[in-house]
Amino acid sequence: MAERRAAVIAKHVKLANEGATSCLVVVTDDINVVYFVVVGVGSVADKLSPARHFAGGEYIFCLTLPEDYPAKPPSLRAVTPNGVYDISAPKICISIGEFHAQDTGGSHGERGWRPVLGLRGFVQEVVNGLVFSEGFHGIGIHSPIMAESARESLAAESLAYNRRHYPEITRRYEELAAAQLEGIEGSQELQTDAHKIDLSPGVVEQLEDEIRRGTRISAAAGLLLGRRAA
């Protein structure tokens, strides 16, 4: 049973990371604990997007997998200060998390856990809650929504915070990110879930300038260039 569970978790980690550049799942020596790192959320140039307040941020989250995962969802804990999820809380409520394990899932998994969502679906729901938190103000456990300026300040400080407080997770993440990008870095274009970014030399210079000014215009470009500039 333990071997089968380990195989299932390994498969879910692999599926979560396939083709991903903006959010990667990092394993630890404990099979019951995985981390995921979110980068490249939003752009300060996009004045209409709620994600702009997280531009340049790098956020680590911790998932503790129950013994009966994936029948039951992971337990969520925020690691990096982000202005939405409380890092001092031992558990955080999201619509498909453990507080809603017995709920009936919607047609798109918007409420209630379903095993088919796996780590990838769970991670995406966490990111959705982070970006679109304004719509859930006052709802949820341990999700105090800070002011826009506070979220922007935390985004600017996040990379240094992670390296200072979680160096091992940061190291593993950087190794994983480098491996993910190794096959596509030489391409003139980088394809992500939501963006197609031109990485020709002139555009790269523009991106590097935005990195120096503390912004990241996309998940993929932020991951590729932001780690170099940091």
Distance CA 10, CA 5 (A): 9
Q: Calculate what percentage of the chain has a pLDDT beyond 90.
A: 30
What confidence tens digit (pLDDT) does each residue in 39-90 have?
878 776 667 777 888 988 999 999 999 999 998 899 999 999 999 998 988 8
Distance CA 187, CA 178 (A): 15
pLDDT for position 156: 93
Distance CA 44, CA 65 (A): 35
The more confidently predicted of residues 67 and 142 is 67
Which of these ranges, 91-105, 117-131, 158-172, has the smallest mean pLDDT? Answer: 91-105
What confidence tens digit (pLDDT) does each residue in 19-34 have?
776 788 999 899 999 9
Strand segments (E) across 28-95:
33-39, 58-64, 75-78
The more confidently predicted of residues 216 and 10 is 10
Phi, psi for residue 22 in degrees, rounded to 5? -95, -15
Question: 126 and 94 in contact (C-beta within 8 Å)?
Answer: yes
What confidence tens digit (pLDDT) does each residue in 96-112 have?
766 556 666 554 445 67
pLDDT for position 21: 62
The more confidently predicted of residues 88 and 180 is 88
* Model confidence pTM above 0.95: no
Residue 188 reports pLDDT greater than 50: no
Average pLDDT taken over every residue of the chain: 75
Residue 189 reports pLDDT greater than 60: no
pLDDT for position 143: 56
Q: Which residues contact 8 (CB under 8 A, 6 or more apart)?
A: 69, 70
Residue 207 reports pLDDT greater than 60: no
Tell me the domains of the chain and their CATH numbers.
Answer: 2-153 (3.10.110.10), 186-230 (no CATH)
